[in-house]
Amino acid sequence: MTDPFSLFDEWLAEARTKELNDPEAMALATTNTAGHPSVRMVLLKGHGPAGFVFYTNDDSRKGGELAANPRAALLFHWKSLRRQVRVEGAVERVPDTDADAYFASRARDSQLGAWASDQSRPLDARETFEQRFTEMSARFQGGDVPRPRHWGGYRVVPAQIEFWSDRPHRLHERRLFVRERTKWTEGLLYP
Protein backbone atom coordinates (compact mmCIF):
# COMPACT_ATOMS: atom_id res chain seq x y z
CA MET A 1 0.00 0.00 0.00
CA THR A 2 1.13 3.52 -0.78
CA ASP A 3 1.65 5.89 2.16
CA PRO A 4 -0.80 8.78 1.54
CA PHE A 5 1.53 11.32 3.13
CA SER A 6 4.48 10.31 0.96
CA LEU A 7 2.23 10.55 -2.10
CA PHE A 8 1.04 14.00 -0.97
CA ASP A 9 4.67 15.10 -0.50
CA GLU A 10 5.47 13.99 -4.07
CA TRP A 11 2.46 15.78 -5.54
CA LEU A 12 3.09 18.98 -3.56
CA ALA A 13 6.77 19.01 -4.58
CA GLU A 14 5.74 18.73 -8.22
CA ALA A 15 3.09 21.44 -7.77
CA ARG A 16 5.73 23.76 -6.32
CA THR A 17 7.67 23.49 -9.58
CA LYS A 18 4.73 23.67 -12.01
CA GLU A 19 1.90 25.66 -10.40
CA LEU A 20 2.19 29.37 -11.17
CA ASN A 21 0.55 30.76 -8.05
CA ASP A 22 0.28 29.46 -4.50
CA PRO A 23 0.73 25.69 -4.78
CA GLU A 24 0.02 25.63 -1.02
CA ALA A 25 -3.44 27.18 -1.53
CA MET A 26 -6.29 24.97 -0.37
CA ALA A 27 -10.02 25.40 -0.13
CA LEU A 28 -11.22 24.99 3.46
CA ALA A 29 -14.85 23.96 3.95
CA THR A 30 -16.58 24.28 7.32
CA THR A 31 -20.19 24.34 8.51
CA ASN A 32 -22.05 26.43 11.05
CA THR A 33 -24.25 25.02 13.80
CA ALA A 34 -27.22 24.82 11.41
CA GLY A 35 -25.15 22.75 8.98
CA HIS A 36 -24.80 25.50 6.38
CA PRO A 37 -21.48 25.12 4.52
CA SER A 38 -18.91 27.80 3.94
CA VAL A 39 -15.71 27.58 1.90
CA ARG A 40 -12.71 29.85 1.42
CA MET A 41 -9.07 29.64 0.37
CA VAL A 42 -6.33 29.39 2.99
CA LEU A 43 -2.65 28.49 2.80
CA LEU A 44 -1.12 25.23 3.95
CA LYS A 45 1.58 26.04 6.50
CA GLY A 46 2.57 22.55 7.59
CA HIS A 47 1.70 18.93 6.91
CA GLY A 48 2.61 15.37 7.78
CA PRO A 49 1.07 12.25 9.31
CA ALA A 50 -0.45 14.35 12.11
CA GLY A 51 -2.42 16.44 9.58
CA PHE A 52 -2.60 19.62 7.53
CA VAL A 53 -1.99 22.96 9.29
CA PHE A 54 -3.25 26.48 8.59
CA TYR A 55 -3.50 29.67 10.68
CA THR A 56 -6.27 32.22 11.09
CA ASN A 57 -8.11 34.64 13.34
CA ASP A 58 -10.11 32.61 15.89
CA ASP A 59 -12.83 35.27 15.85
CA SER A 60 -13.33 34.99 12.08
CA ARG A 61 -16.27 33.16 10.56
CA LYS A 62 -14.16 30.05 9.99
CA GLY A 63 -12.79 30.23 13.54
CA GLY A 64 -16.32 30.35 14.95
CA GLU A 65 -17.48 27.51 12.73
CA LEU A 66 -14.50 25.36 13.71
CA ALA A 67 -15.17 26.04 17.39
CA ALA A 68 -18.82 24.96 16.96
CA ASN A 69 -18.11 21.98 14.69
CA PRO A 70 -14.46 20.89 14.71
CA ARG A 71 -14.60 19.02 11.38
CA ALA A 72 -13.48 20.29 8.00
CA ALA A 73 -12.69 19.38 4.41
CA LEU A 74 -9.76 20.61 2.34
CA LEU A 75 -9.24 20.67 -1.40
CA PHE A 76 -5.95 21.21 -3.20
CA HIS A 77 -6.46 21.87 -6.90
CA TRP A 78 -3.38 21.97 -9.08
CA LYS A 79 -4.81 22.86 -12.45
CA SER A 80 -1.47 22.83 -14.26
CA LEU A 81 -0.95 19.21 -13.15
CA ARG A 82 -4.60 18.25 -13.63
CA ARG A 83 -4.70 16.89 -10.09
CA GLN A 84 -6.69 17.34 -6.92
CA VAL A 85 -6.32 16.14 -3.34
CA ARG A 86 -9.35 16.04 -1.03
CA VAL A 87 -8.94 15.72 2.74
CA GLU A 88 -11.68 15.26 5.35
CA GLY A 89 -11.32 14.97 9.10
CA ALA A 90 -11.47 16.33 12.60
CA VAL A 91 -9.86 19.66 13.45
CA GLU A 92 -7.67 20.40 16.45
CA ARG A 93 -5.74 23.44 17.63
CA VAL A 94 -2.00 23.49 17.17
CA PRO A 95 0.04 24.20 20.31
CA ASP A 96 0.56 27.88 21.17
CA THR A 97 4.31 27.40 20.78
CA ASP A 98 3.78 26.40 17.12
CA ALA A 99 1.43 29.35 16.53
CA ASP A 100 3.94 31.72 18.18
CA ALA A 101 6.78 30.41 16.01
CA TYR A 102 4.79 30.69 12.78
CA PHE A 103 3.46 34.16 13.68
CA ALA A 104 7.04 35.34 14.35
CA SER A 105 8.06 34.15 10.86
CA ARG A 106 5.42 36.26 9.10
CA ALA A 107 6.18 39.60 7.48
CA ARG A 108 5.80 42.48 9.93
CA ASP A 109 2.90 44.03 7.97
CA SER A 110 1.07 40.68 8.11
CA GLN A 111 1.62 40.59 11.86
CA LEU A 112 0.27 44.13 12.22
CA GLY A 113 -2.67 43.27 9.98
CA ALA A 114 -3.63 40.43 12.34
CA TRP A 115 -3.90 42.99 15.15
CA ALA A 116 -5.73 45.58 13.04
CA SER A 117 -8.35 43.32 11.48
CA ASP A 118 -11.66 42.23 12.98
CA GLN A 119 -11.71 39.50 10.35
CA SER A 120 -15.13 38.63 8.89
CA ARG A 121 -16.91 41.50 10.68
CA PRO A 122 -18.54 44.36 8.79
CA LEU A 123 -16.21 47.25 7.89
CA ASP A 124 -17.71 50.71 7.40
CA ALA A 125 -14.88 51.99 5.16
CA ARG A 126 -11.44 50.88 4.01
CA GLU A 127 -10.02 53.97 5.72
CA THR A 128 -11.09 52.58 9.11
CA PHE A 129 -8.97 49.48 8.61
CA GLU A 130 -6.04 51.52 7.30
CA GLN A 131 -6.25 53.80 10.36
CA ARG A 132 -6.24 50.77 12.68
CA PHE A 133 -3.21 49.41 10.83
CA THR A 134 -1.43 52.76 11.33
CA GLU A 135 -2.31 52.65 15.04
CA MET A 136 -0.90 49.12 15.38
CA SER A 137 2.27 50.22 13.56
CA ALA A 138 2.74 52.98 16.12
CA ARG A 139 1.86 50.71 19.06
CA PHE A 140 4.54 48.16 18.18
CA GLN A 141 7.09 50.56 16.70
CA GLY A 142 10.65 49.52 17.50
CA GLY A 143 9.71 46.15 18.97
CA ASP A 144 8.52 42.69 18.12
CA VAL A 145 4.86 42.16 17.27
CA PRO A 146 3.49 39.43 19.56
CA ARG A 147 0.86 36.96 18.39
CA PRO A 148 -2.63 38.22 19.30
CA ARG A 149 -4.61 35.91 21.59
CA HIS A 150 -7.35 35.73 18.95
CA TRP A 151 -5.00 34.28 16.31
CA GLY A 152 -3.87 30.67 16.11
CA GLY A 153 -3.40 27.51 14.17
CA TYR A 154 -5.56 24.54 13.27
CA ARG A 155 -4.71 21.04 12.11
CA VAL A 156 -7.08 18.96 9.99
CA VAL A 157 -6.46 15.39 11.11
CA PRO A 158 -7.43 13.32 8.08
CA ALA A 159 -9.91 10.48 8.30
CA GLN A 160 -9.68 10.13 4.54
CA ILE A 161 -7.59 11.49 1.68
CA GLU A 162 -8.51 11.21 -1.98
CA PHE A 163 -6.02 11.68 -4.83
CA TRP A 164 -7.68 12.57 -8.16
CA SER A 165 -5.83 12.49 -11.48
CA ASP A 166 -7.26 13.66 -14.76
CA ARG A 167 -7.42 11.11 -17.56
CA PRO A 168 -8.64 11.47 -21.17
CA HIS A 169 -12.37 11.21 -21.83
CA ARG A 170 -13.20 11.72 -18.14
CA LEU A 171 -11.82 8.29 -17.27
CA HIS A 172 -10.14 9.83 -14.23
CA GLU A 173 -8.26 7.96 -11.54
CA ARG A 174 -9.46 8.33 -7.95
CA ARG A 175 -7.43 6.78 -5.13
CA LEU A 176 -9.05 6.84 -1.70
CA PHE A 177 -7.14 6.34 1.54
CA VAL A 178 -9.25 5.78 4.67
CA ARG A 179 -7.85 5.79 8.20
CA GLU A 180 -9.01 2.90 10.34
CA ARG A 181 -7.67 3.73 13.80
CA THR A 182 -3.91 3.87 13.22
CA LYS A 183 -3.79 2.14 9.82
CA TRP A 184 -4.68 3.32 6.34
CA THR A 185 -6.52 1.32 3.71
CA GLU A 186 -6.31 2.13 0.03
CA GLY A 187 -8.94 1.69 -2.64
CA LEU A 188 -10.23 3.10 -5.91
CA LEU A 189 -13.39 5.03 -6.71
CA TYR A 190 -15.21 5.15 -9.99
CA PRO A 191 -14.59 8.46 -11.78
Helices (H), 85-184: 96-105, 108-116, 126-139
DSSP 178: E
Residue of 126, 149, 170, 181 marked catalytic: 170
DSSP 2: -
Contacts of 97 (CB under 8 A, 6+ apart): none
Q: Is 120 exposed, middle or buried (0-12, 13-18, 19+ CB in 10 A)?
A: middle
- What is the C-alpha to C-alpha distance for residues 188 and 173, in angstroms, rounded to an integer? 8
Residue 170 designated active-site: yes
Which residues are identified as catalytic?
Answer: 170
